[in-house]
Amino acid sequence: MEYATRGDRTASCLSFLCKIVVLLGLAAAAASGQLTDDYYDYCCPQVYRIVRSRVAAAMKAEMRMGASLLRLHFHDCFVNGCDASILLDGTNSEKFAAPNNNSVRGYEVIDAIKADLESACPGVVSCADIVALAAKYGVLLSGGPDYDVLLGRRDGLVANQTGANSNLPSPFDSISVITARFKDVGLNATDVVVLSGAHTIGRSRCLLFSNRLANFSATNSVDPTLDSSLASSLQQVCRGGADQLAALDVNSADAFDNHYYQNLLANKGLLASDQGLVSSSGDPAVAATKALVQAYSANGQRFSCDFGNSMVKMGNISPLTGSAGQIRKNCRAVN
For the stretch 143-194, pLDDT in tens is 999 999 999 999 999 999 999 999 999 999 999 999 999 999 999 999 999 9
Binding residues: 76, 79, 81, 83, 85, 94, 169, 199-200, 249, 257
Residues recognised as catalytic? 75
Determine, yes or no, domain membership for 2. Answer: no
Determine, yes or no, domain membership for 137. Answer: yes
58 shares its domain with 161? yes
259 shares its domain with 293? yes
Last residue of a domain, one of 114, 146, 166: 166
174 shares its domain with 150? no
217 shares its domain with 271? yes
For the stretch 308-321, pLDDT in tens is 999 999 999 999 99
Alpha-carbon span 128 to 18, nearest angstrom: 20
Q: Residue 282: its pLDDT value, please?
A: 80
Binding residues for substrate: 169
Determine, yes or no, domain membership for 211. Answer: yes
147 shares its domain with 203? no
CB 151 within 8 A of CB 131: no
Binding residues for Ca(2+): 76, 79, 81, 83, 85, 94, 200, 249, 257
For the stretch 231-285, pLDDT in tens is 999 999 999 999 999 999 999 999 999 999 999 999 999 999 999 999 977 888 8
CB 156 within 8 A of CB 83: yes
Domain limits at 238? 169-313
Determine, yes or no, domain membership for 330. Answer: no
174 shares its domain with 308? yes
CB 329 within 8 A of CB 118: yes
Please spell the DSSP secondary structure of 168-199, one letter per residue: S--TTS-HHHHHHHHHHTT--HHHHHHHHGGG
175 shares its domain with 296? yes
Determine, yes or no, domain membership for 259. Answer: yes
Determine, yes or no, domain membership for 30. Answer: no
Binding residues for heme b: 199
Q: Residue 285: its pLDDT value, please?
A: 86
123 shares its domain with 51? yes
CATH number of the domain encompassing residue 97: 1.10.520.10
Task: Say which amino acid occupies 300.
Answer: G
Last residue of a domain, one of 149, 166, 183: 166
Determine, yes or no, domain membership for 26. Answer: no
For the stretch 281-294, pLDDT in tens is 788 888 899 999 99
State yes or no: pLDDT of 229 exceeds 80. Answer: yes
* Alpha helical stretches, state H, 78-227: 107-120, 127-140, 161-167, 175-184, 189-196
Determine, yes or no, domain membership for 140. Answer: yes
Total structural domains in the chain?
Answer: 2
pLDDT averaged over every residue in the chain? 90
Last residue of a domain, one of 166, 196, 225: 166
85 shares its domain with 134? yes
Alpha-carbon span 274 to 280, nearest angstrom: 10
> What is the value of pTM for the model shown?
0.89
For the stretch 63-122, pLDDT in tens is 999 999 999 999 999 999 999 999 999 999 999 999 999 899 999 999 999 999 999 999
For the stretch 208-223, pLDDT in tens is 999 999 988 888 899 9
Q: How far is CA 115 from CA 47, 120, 143, 165, 243, in A?
A: 12, 9, 27, 30, 31
CATH number of the domain encompassing residue 215: 1.10.420.10
Q: Residue 33: its pLDDT value, please?
A: 59
